Amino acid sequence: MSGLLDSLGVRPLVNAVGPATRLGSGVLAPAVLDAMREAAGVYVRMHELQAAAGGEIAALTGAEAGYVTNGAAGALLLAAAACIAGDDPALMNRLPDASGGRDEIVVHRGQRIAYDHALRAAGARLVEIGFPDLTFPYELDAAIGERTAAVAYFSNSGANALPLEQVVEIAHARGVPVILDASLAVPPLANLRRFAALGVDLIAVSGGKWIGGPAASGFLAGRADLIRSVALQHQDQDVRVETWHGAPLIAAGTVAGPPHQGIGRPLKVGKEEIAGLLAALRAYAARDHAADQARWRADALTVVDACAGIDGVRAALLEADGRERGWPVAELDLRSPARAYALVRALAEGAPAIALDEALAWRGLVRVTPTHLREGEAALVARSLAAALTSTQTLDRKDTEA
């Protein structure tokens, strides 16, 4: 590749990890780039663009309203802020200082993950329930009190958590909203409508992962009043009451006035990201997802077949289960964490560089996620893996460099 990346000395790589932010998420389709280019050439009122985009998100998900964010983590922060502050502009101005009010968000202990920092960044104090291996319904009910702003649930974390349906039922019986991190819940696309039908109050989704939008895009879908609070805390509020587009909210007694720049202001979303996300959503809704799954499975099998007969390696195809993981992967069991990390380093330093999923390398497992491989790259990854795995010298050298 010539151009800017060459001038910077940055090497493109083969992405066998999936839509990881650290690898740039995904490669944008021409229709997405065209939409972003169109938006880049005009001025618009951002609240109007967000409202129109929110309508499409609502129609796609079956939720009351939608809102474009700068990613799923940003969506979680905004969701927490909305549940804490509601329509109170004075409290919006105070965040992340939510002391003295509804500043608690209940989470399963078994679902604690690094991304819940987004909830804490809004000013929430996390209240844990249960244990990693077991949680009882009464523990959730007992944890909800006068200071509870929301219950947070992570769709792909904590297999031993209470079922989402039960969490929604208990929370709603106590008048508390449920925030769902659905950043990895797509595919399948049907999950989004299922979550809304369950009554989840705010669903946080990544736009830059499976949907194929810009890396810095995502969205919230959920209750209209909470989405309104999100908008108030996210959009540019360098306004005057006399000309503010939200003046009808004051007249209706919904808000006392516009907040100052809210806690979401640093999480800016440009018109280009909104346009790109909408184009990606439209394309994703129309995709042949069965064909995608078939192609991914074939690519994963290419890797498995290339590595299956190599000494010291157990290669297996892990099928999509539609719950914890909506896509197939090729898993290589090297039976040694040191050799697993050595393999990751060897391919990362190759030409071309290949990024492998090392999340379970501490257990001696390396995975190839085929979802973001381009045409012909599965065979390239398979050859590179086989060459590295059959070269004891290569892995031993990488092992000693650890």
Spell out the per-residue pLDDT of the chain, length 402, in tens: 458 998 999 999 999 999 999 999 999 999 999 999 999 999 999 999 999 999 999 999 999 999 999 999 999 999 999 999 999 999 999 999 999 899 999 999 999 988 999 999 999 999 999 998 899 999 999 999 999 999 999 987 766 899 999 999 999 999 999 999 999 888 888 889 999 999 999 999 999 999 999 999 999 999 999 999 999 999 999 999 999 999 999 999 999 999 999 999 999 999 999 999 999 999 999 999 999 999 999 999 999 999 998 999 999 999 987 666 789 999 999 999 999 999 999 999 999 999 999 999 999 999 999 999 999 999 999 999 999 999 855 566 555 555
Bridge-based pairing of strands 365-368 and 202-206 is unpaired
Q: Is the peptide bond before 137 cis (omega within 30 degrees of 0)?
A: no
What is the 3-class SS of 73-132, one letter each residue? HHHHHHHHHHHHHCCCHHHHHHCCCCCCCCCEEEEEHHHCCHHHHHHHHCCCEEEEECEC
For the full predicted model, state whether its pTM sits above 0.75: yes
- Is the distance from CB of 371 to CB of 284 less than 8 angstroms? no
What CATH number has the domain spanning 4-20+288-401?
A: 3.90.1150.180
| 217/211 Cα distance (integer angstroms) | 10
CATH 3.90.1150.10 fits 44-286, yes or no: no
Is the peptide bond preceding residue 30 cis, with omega within 30 degrees of 0?
no
Same CATH fold assignment for domains 4-20+288-401 and 44-286? no
- Compute, in degrees rounded to 10, the torsion defined by CA atoms 347, 349, 351, 352: 60
In the chain, what are the domain boundaries?
A: 4-20+288-401, 44-286
Q: How far apart are the C-alpha atoms of 21 and 165, rounded to whole Å?
A: 30
β partners of residue 179? 152, 202
